[in-house]
Amino acid sequence: MIKVLHTSDWHLGRKLDGYDQSEVQRRALQWIVDTVRDEHIDVVLVSGDVYDTKLPGDQQVGMLSEVLTDLVHIERDGKPAVDVILIPGNHDSAVKLGFLSPLMPSNLHICSQVDGVATPVMVERGDERLAVYAFPYLYPSVARFPLNRLLHQADPDLPEDEVLEETTQAVTGAAIRLASRDLAKRRESDPRLASILMMHANVASRLRGKIGEKRDDFSGGDTEHAASESPLIVGTAEAIPSEYFAGSGFDYLALGHIHKPQTVTIVGDGQLPQARYCGSLLAYDADDVKQSKPREGNYRVVDIVTIDGGKVTDISERFIESGQRRIVNLKGDIDEILGPECAQYRDDFVNLTFGFDPEKHKDPWGEIHTAFSTVLGYKPTAYGEKDRTTADGRAIQRNVDDPLDVMLSFVRDVTGLEATAQEKKVLGEALKRAQNVPQADASGAKAGAASGRRGRRSRVTADATESVASESNGNGND
């Protein structure tokens, strides 16, 4: 039996809305070391974004050095017991991560070279054998020519002038074909060889939250992103279709980049690998735990993959014990949020969406910061006659034919307060100047303003008056 721990997206050096998380990261990494030792893990996979920047500071380099040293020196029966396999993500510098690879211990594998995509790290424990194919983050402009050369070496019949397109899909598809072909050859002489593919990318397919629990589709079937993730795609043009992995022969895809733990359903014909995003080491944004019931550590996990008899027999989660303060998303009327029910969140990171009566609450921000020690963000809505609803619940419409009313509504939406007399004066003067420009010059602006009015609906307070209790009792699937 081989036990594999899958982790990713450590983002060493990243802060949470300006709040330093270095000590929390250090505790999380120590928990990983302890878990590897206590649960007799054989292989640790780190699927990219070890650092938060390509130029990490001394503290972050020291943290990585410390955790890798601790892992590779875990021994059983007087011998190194753990293979650590690490790939660079889009936040990492592949060159800086991999430049000392030849001098590293034999059980530490930093796979930073594109031309190594079809050369697996081989792991043996007793009668079990595992091939781990580790792809560094594949920048199309960098990866296309090395991969093109490998394709022609593997298939001399390819036309000499055939060159890979400079797209993420093209280079990733080529890397998968090369690795899959190598795996098939190895299995001709070793049919019980298990295999894992490590990638840092956006694989598009249907999602599941907790292992085995189906989630709704997002964006036509793409993976669910959080605000703390740097986008790798525009729209879905550069997402990797899950069909690319159908029939590839891999048993498990150890994915990185998406910060919310989730299972990706691979679609297509033939053997379909199991695929998981284990998520980030910590929560780095309020959106990382949106819709989740508050929990210390913010639902960050590692995945434990068990391989027995040449197959994946079990995948389970372990909650990372980092001690990171809870991130709490609260929505409701300010009186609810400031009430006794929410006092339990005083020392947590809170993200607020609230409505308030400006006549009753002259300084809502002061009240909020008095009630909560750490506010990540807030979205206020001031109740006014133009924002209220009628007795039967219908929204009272704003007068969108009055440009000044539209401008004042904008101020109210952004600040949560009515414009002051001075602000109204400035806006009125600006409006007069705009209305006095010659008709020929103003026609385009007026058309754009009319289009903007049609596209913008009046803001009502339905979202801001939802029950705080219902928000804090989420299902915890993220």
pLDDT digits (tens, 9 = 90+) for 346-382: 999 999 988 888 888 888 889 999 999 999 988 887 7
User: How far from each other are the two terminal CA atoms of the chain, in whole angstroms?
Assistant: 30
For residues 264 and 49, give the distance between their C-alpha atoms in angstroms, rounded to a whole number: 19
Domain boundary among 319, 354, 381: 319
The region that residue 14 occupies, defined by phi over 0 for left and psi between -120 and 50 for alpha, beta otherwise, is beta
DSSP annotation of 165: -
pLDDT at 30 > cutoff 60:
yes
Query: Residue 208 is encoded by which pair of tokens?
Result: 């599941």
Residue 398 lies in a domain: yes
Q: Is the same domain home to 379 and 443? A: yes
In a domain, residue 326? The reply is: no
Nearest to 430 by CA among 451, 445, 413, 417: 445
> Which residues contact residue 306 at a Cβ distance below 8 angstroms, ignoring those fewer than 6 apart?
1, 2, 3, 4, 312, 313, 314, 315
Our count of domains for the chain comes to 2
- Which of 289, 319, 349 is the last residue in one of the domains? 319
Residue 214 Cα to chain centre, angstroms = 19
* 247 shares a domain with 342: no
Q: How far is CA 65 from the centre of its chain?
A: 24
Q: Is 451 exposed, middle or buried (0-12, 13-18, 19+ CB in 10 A)?
A: exposed
Each residue's pLDDT tens digit, 63-89: 999 999 999 999 999 999 999 999 999
Residue 205, in any domain of the structure = yes
Name the band, by pLDDT with cuts 50, 70 and 90, for residue 413.
Answer: low
Structural domain ending residue among the three candidates 319, 350, 371: 319
Q: Which residues have CB under 8 Å from 432's CB, separation 6+?
A: none
User: Within a domain: residue 332?
Assistant: no
Transcribe 357-414 into DSSP letters: -TTT-S-HHHHHHHH-SEEEEEEEEE--TTT-B-TTSPBPPP-TTSHHHHHHHHHHHH
> Does residue 327 fall inside a structural domain?
no
User: Do 308 and 343 have their domain in common?
Assistant: no
SS3 content of the chain, % helix, strand, coil (to 5): 35, 25, 45
422 and 280 fall within a common domain: no
pLDDT at 273 over 90: yes
The answer as to whether 19 is a domain residue is yes
For residue 410, the enclosing domain spans 338-471
| Close Cβ partners of 269 (under 8 Å, ≥ 6 residues apart) | 246, 247
Residues 311 and 347 in one domain: no
365 and 278 inside one domain: no
464 & 399 share domain: yes
- pLDDT score at 473: 36
Q: Does 333 map to a domain? A: no
Distance of CA 112 to the CA centre of its chain: 22
Residues 310 and 345 in one domain: no
Degrees (nearest 5) of the Cα angle 54, 21, 375? 120
Helix (H) or strand (E) holding 181: helix 168-189
Cα-to-chain-centroid distance, residue 324? 17
- What pLDDT does 295 receive? 86
State the CATH number of the domain containing residue 308. Answer: 3.60.21.10
Is 330 inside a domain boundary?
no
* Same-domain check for residues 225 and 142: yes
* pLDDT at residue 301 greater than cutoff 50: yes
CA nearest to 252, candidates 235, 234, 279, 272 = 272
H/E stretch holding 10: none
Mean residue pLDDT across the chain: 82
Whose tokens are 């058309």? That residue is 447
Q: Mark whether 105 and 209 lie in a shared domain.
A: yes
Same domain, 254 and 291: yes
* Residues 12 and 25 sit within 8 Å (Cβ to Cβ): yes
CA pair distance 245, 49, nearest whole angstrom: 22
Judge if 312 and 344 occupy the same domain: no
Q: Which residues contact 476 (CB under 8 A, 6 or more apart)?
A: 292, 293, 295, 299
Mean pLDDT lowest among 7-11, 23-27, 133-137, 208-212: 208-212
